[in-house]
Structure 1
C-alpha cells in the first residue's frame, strides 16, 4: 500500500509511491533454512511497532531456552484454552440491545493456530458450534501483517478476530501454569456481565407460567419411557351379584402416555376358563359420573364473538379456556399394593406386582416394602359349571355341512377350520405318503359292475377318500377317477340334522370291510404293502392289524377245544399249514367276528417256508425267448455260431458260462438280462459246469421245434421270482410258531400229540 502523511488529506498527489527508485521486483522467498541446511516454510513478518519485535519464525520460541526440536514435536497436543465472550447486537428485539455469547478460544502451540468454538446451549435458538476454524489469525489493520501469538492472549485482554471483539475472562489450569512458567502474569478470573436478552426470555417464560395452561411435552415423555410398563395383579370381587365371580386381573400401566390396560387371566381355581381384555388401553378418570357428551373432551373452546345474529359470525379460540373442566386421571403415584381403583364404577384392588415394578418404585420413590396381600375367599371355587354344547340349526342340504355350520357360527362367512396339527403330522413326508390304498370290488345287481376293479385311497391327513377305477381290456370301462377326494359319511344317518355327520375313519378301512360310497357298495379285497405295514406299526390304533389282540381273541375261543383243534390241523409232513385251511378252521370257530384282514395279519406274523421251485421251466423260457426274438426282428443265427466258434479254438463244443453270456450280449440279442440268465440256467452242462453252446444255438433257432407265441410279461419282475416268493410266502403259515404264540401249554401238555409237536420244532 502507498505511504501517506496523516496530516495531509488522502487525495491524489498527497501520497508517496514506495515503488519509486526500486530496481528489484522479485518476490520474497517462501522457504528458508532452520539450523544446518534444514529447509522450512516460513512467513516473513515485519516488526510490531506496538509491542516487542516478533521472532523471525513466529511458530518457534527463542533458541537456547528449549531443546532444538521442531515446534510440531516439542508442543504436540499442547493447547491453551481461554474462556471469552462477545456481544452481538440485537436491533429487532425490544428491551435487549445485545446478547452475550460465550465462547472458548483454543491456541495450538505447535503451529500458532487459533480456533474459536461456541458451546451448544439447548433451546438457544441460534446456530452454535465452531465459529472460527483452526488457522493462524492476523491482527486487525493496520497491523495485519502480523499474527496473534501467545503473548497476545491473556485474561482481561480483548482480541479482535475478523471484526468481532472477544473479551477473555478465564483460562484453564494448564494455560495458567504454562504462561506463568513463560514469565507471563495471568490475572484472576473476571465476572461475566449479565445477558439482557436471556433475562428478557426468563421474564417472558415466568409470565407464561403464571398465566397457566402449560403444554406437556408428550413426545419427550414418550421417548424417555417408551416400552416401560408397570405390572400389577389384582381382583374385582363380583360374587355378590347374580352369576358373579371373583375376577383375577392383571393391570398394566404404560409410563409413556399414562394409559392403563386391564386383562382378566385364568387360573386353576377360577371358574372362568377364558382370558380376555377386561379394559382396553386408555386413561382411567378418578371420578366417573356419566359418559361425556360429544365435544366435551375437546382440548380447546371456540367462541362466537359476534353472536348468531350476524351472517356467518366470527369464531375465535378461547385463550382463557373458560368453562373447561379439569379431569384427573390415575397416574403412577396412585398405584400401590392395597390401593383401590375406581374403574368406571368397579372397585379394583391391587394385591401384588412384578419385580420390575418393585425396583421402579424403590428407585423413584424409595418404597422398599411392597408386600403382597391375599385374595379374598372364592365362594365358587370347586363348583363345576356345566357347559352346554352349542346347538346349530339343521342342515338344509346346500353345500357341505362344514360350510353351512360356519355361516351359522359367525356373521361374516369364513372357511371351515381344518385340523392343522394332524395335517402336519400325517401329510406326505418324503416317501412316507400316509395314504392307505386298498383293492376293491363293487357289489351290484348288474353283473358287469361286479367285474370292475377299483383302488380306494384313504388320506390320513384329513380323513378323505378317493376312488379310482382300473379299466380292464375289452371290459367297456376306462381307467379314470370314479369318486373325487372328500369325506364320506357313514350310511343310515339322518341328513337334515344339526349334528355333524359321522364319516369313515381309518379304523373302518381293512381287508374284508364293506363301504358304501355315493350309494355304491364296495368290498375291500386286498391292500398294498404300505397300508399293511403302516397298520401293523400303529397297531394300537388298528385292532385288525394287532397280532396280540387277534391271538388273544383266538386263544379265548380255542381254550375249551384246543385238543381237537391241534389234532385235526397238525401237519403230517411239514411244519407249515396252508393259508386257506387255517382260515376255514378259524372262521368255523370265530364266525363273523373273524375278518380277512386279521387272517392276513396272522399270515404276515407267522410266515412259512417258501418252496423256491421254478415257476418257469425250459419250455416256457424258450417260448418267451422266441417271442422276444420275433418281436425284436432278430435273425442272425450264423453270426452267433461264428462268435461261439471263435471263442472255442479247440472245438470242444463247450464254453464257460461267462463266455456264453459275453457272446449273447455281443451279438445284441433283444433280450433282457434276466431272460439271458434264465436261458443260461436251463442250457445243458458238462461235468465241469461248462455250457454246450450248440444247445444254445438250437434254443434260439425258430425252425427247430416251433412253439406258439406267449403274451408279453414284465420280465424284470416275473423272472426274478420276487413276486412268486412274496405271493407264496403268505400262503403258508408256520404251525409251530402259531401254536407257540397261543401259549396254551397247560392244555397242550395233557394232549397225546405233545411229542409230535416237539419233534416238529426240533426238525425246524
Structure 2
C-alpha cells in the first residue's frame, strides 16, 4: 500500500491509499524469500530496500534502412531495477556519435523475475537481450533463490566496424599534431642554467673582449646572453647581447613571414583572395626543419654560434654543475682561462693612505676627519654589536681576576676585575679593595679599547688592539702603562670560551690534548708508569699541573690547565670559606646589628612545617629568614644555606639553622668584617 494525498470530491483533499501491482511486499508468494517463513520483518519496502538497485546490461538490434555498410546496428543499454518501489529505468551509455531517445513509462510494470541474464524484454517496442549484470545484482538474485547464468558475449557491430575502417583509411582533414609544452614548463619553471663565457672581438677595429653570461631556461629551451661590463669600461652597465629566444645552430638568413607558424596553408583553387580556397598541409611538405641549441649542447670549453659570433663557454655556477652531474653523470667542471684583453688597461687599485696620527683624540676620530671635510663620528661594527649585545642572561662579557705586576709590594696584593666586552672589543678594570689596604673599591680604568704595547703611535695605519686571542687565564695585559696578569675567570667566561673554542684555542680541549699527546709521545710509557698508580688511576689536580708545567714549559698556560680540569671533572677550585668561617662571619654580623630573635624564627619554622618533619625546602627557608629581618647580605645568606645540613632531596634541617645562628652554642671569636661578595675571586 502506498499513501498519497488526493481529492475525494470537488475541492476536498484527503489522504487515500493506492494499490500498485507487483509490490515487493507481495513478492514473497512468487519466489523464495531470503528470510524463513513467518520471520519476515514488518518494515516498509521503501525502508528495507532504500538505495538498493539491481543493474543489468542488455542490447537491442536497430535496423538500418538506408546504410550501405551494415543492415543493422547494436545498441547497448543498462537496465536499472529500483527495489524500493519496483520501478525500472533504461539508460544508454554515451558513445561516439550516438543519439539518445527518451523512454516514456506506461502502465505495465516489470519485476525481478522478468530480468535475468539471457532473457529478452520489450520496452516501448524495442526488444532488449540481457547479457550480463553487476556483482551486487548477481549476489542479490542468488540470495533470493534465482539462478543467474554466465555472461553472454555481445555480437560484433558491423556498423561501427566499418566506420572504424573508414576513419583509419581516410586522410585527416585537420592535422592531429600537438606539441605539449605545459608539462615541461610546470616541471622546469624558474630553473635556469648559468654559464660564463666570452666573445673575442679584438681582431676588428675598436673591438675588445666581451665577457658574457649565458642563461639557458629549462622551461622552454630558450637562451638569454648578457654582457658583463666592468666598472669604468666605457660601456653600458646593462648590455643585452642576445635577447631571450631559441638559438639556431646554423644561421641561413632571417625567417620569412609566417615561418614560425605551426600550420601551413595550401592554396588549392583560385588566384584571387576572395575566391580562393585553402587547406591545411597535414604532411608539412614545405616546412623547413631547424636545429636549436639544447642543454646537452652546452659544455665548458664548447663554442656557441650566436648568428656568426663565436661565444666560448669557460665556467658555470654550482647549480649548473649539480644539474649536469645528476642528469648526465659529468664530473669535470674545470674552468678554462680567458684570453688577455689587450685593449683595456687594468687599473691598479691603490689604497688611500692617511696622514700620520697627530695624537689628538682617538685614531678612528682623526681618520674620519681626514676622509671627509664635514666632521662625522666614526662608525663601529654594527653587525658585531647586534650579535654580541646582551641578550637575557647571556651578557657576552668575559670577567677575569687580575693582579698587578709592580715593583711596589702593596700594588702586588691589589685585586682587580678585568672585563672584556665582546660587542666592541673594549676592556674595563675595576678594583676590589681589601680591608686596611689603603685602596678603595672603585673604577680603575674606564671601558675603552686598549692598544697592544710596543707599537708606533704616530703612523698612518690603525694600531692593533687587544682581541679575543689575547684574553685568557695566564695572559699579561698592559693597560695604561700598568701590567696585569689574569689569574682566574668566572664560570660564565670559562663556559663561553669552551662553547666557542673556535675563537678561543686555549679553551679547545681537542687542540690541548693533541699538543700534550705530541709532547708526551717520546716518553709516554714512562710518564704513565711513573705518575698514575695502578690501584686507583686518578691523579690530583696540583700534581698533574706541576707535571704538565714542567713538561710543556712556557708553551703551557693556566687557561689550558683549567680547561683540562673542567673537561675531566677535576676540582681546581679551593673554597676559601668553610662552614666555620661562614658561621664566624654570620655571628659577627648578628652581633653588630644586635639581632636576637631565634624564638620567633623557631615559631615560623614550626608554623610552616605542617607535618613536623624538621625540614623545609630551600626556597621557603630563604623567605622565612628574610621575613625575620636577618641582618645579613643576600650573598652571605645563600652561603649560609649552602653549608646547612640537607637530606637526600635537598631539604634543609631548620634545627641546624637555629644551632648555626645561636651564639651560645659553641661560641666563636669575632672576625674582621670582610666583603663576602668577592670571595669567589679570592682563591
TM-score (structure 1 length as normaliser) = 0.40
Structure having the higher Rg: 1
